[in-house]
Amino acid sequence: MMTSLNSSAKPKRDLHVGGVGSSPSVGLSTVAGSFKEPRLIERSDEYVRANPWLVVGMAGLIGLAAGHWLSRRF
């Protein structure tokens, strides 16, 4: 398939405010710097990296429980 360059295409802009989110290491260090216990952030990051599917499952269950609770509440 042939592609052509579009001369009217605008270059992509970086939409991250203050550099947070531009790269994971920068974002983590920014967040970790605002807490009094930076080791907690590092341990949490290590746990999520070691057990990604467990964390996804836990987040899903929390989301389902919150959705159920909110649907009953309102």
Helices 38-50 & 52-73, crossing angle to 10 degrees? 100
Residue 8 lies in a domain: no
Residue 42 lies in a domain: yes
Residue 12 lies in a domain: no
d(CA 40, CA 56): 19
Residue 3 lies in a domain: no
- Could you give the number of structural domains in the chain? 1
Q: Rounded to two decimals, what is the model's pTM?
A: 0.47
Domain limits for position 60: 23-73
7-65 pLDDT, tens digit per residue, is 566 666 655 555 555 555 555 666 656 667 778 888 999 999 999 999 999 999 999 99
Residue 16 lies in a domain: no
Residue 27 lies in a domain: yes
Contacts of 47 (CB under 8 A, 6+ apart): 55
Residue 37 lies in a domain: yes
Residue 65 lies in a domain: yes
